[in-house]
Structure 1
Amino acid sequence: MTTYHELGPAPFAALARGDGGPQAVTALRAAQLSRHLLLIGHLLRHWPGGTAERDTIADTLERARRAAPDRFAEVLSAPLVGSWTGITVRAAERGVAAAADFSQLCGLAAVAAAAAGVPADLPVPVRDGVLSVPGLGALSVGDATAARLTADDGRLSVTAGGDPFRIPADLRDGEPRWQGDDLPGWQPVRRLTAPDAPGVALDDVDPYRHGHHAPPANRLDDAEVAQWQAVFAQAWTMLARHLPGRAAELAAGLRVLVPLAQTDPHSARSATVRHAFGAFGLTRPASAADLAVTMVHEFQHSKLSGLLDITPLTDPADTRRYFAPWRTDPRPLAGLLQGVYAFVGVADAWRALRAEDSLTALASSRFAEARLQVDRGLGAVEASGALTGAGRLLAVGLRQRTDELLAEPLDAAVVAAAEQGLSASHRQWLDRNKAVAAA
Structure 2
Amino acid sequence: MSEAANFGFDTLQIHAGARPDPATGARQTPIYQSTAFVFRDAEHAAALFNLQEVGYIYSRLTNPTVAVLQERIATLEGGVGAVCCSSGHAAQIMALFPLMQPGCNVVASNRLYGGTITQFSQTIKRFGWSAKFVDTDDLDAVAAAIDENTRAVFCESIANPGGYISDIEALAKVADGAGVPLIVDNTSATPYLCNPIKLGATLVVHSTTKYLTGNGTVTGGCIVDSGNFDWSASDKFPSLSQPEPAYHGLKFHETFGPLAFTFHGIAIGLRDLGMTMNPQAAHYTLMGIETLSLRMERHVENAKTVAGWLEGHDLVDYVTYAGLESSPYHDRVERICPKGAGGLFTVALKGGYDACVKFVDSLEIFSHVANLGDARSLVIHSASTTHRQLTPEQQEAAGAGPNVVRISIGIENSEDLIADLDQALKAAHA
* Pairwise TM-score range, normalised by the shorter structure: under 0.3
More relative contact order in 1 or in 2 (CA 8 Å, sep 6+)? 2
What is the TM-score with the length of structure 1 in the denominator?
A: 0.26
Larger relative helix fraction: 1
What is the TM-score with the length of structure 2 in the denominator?
A: 0.27
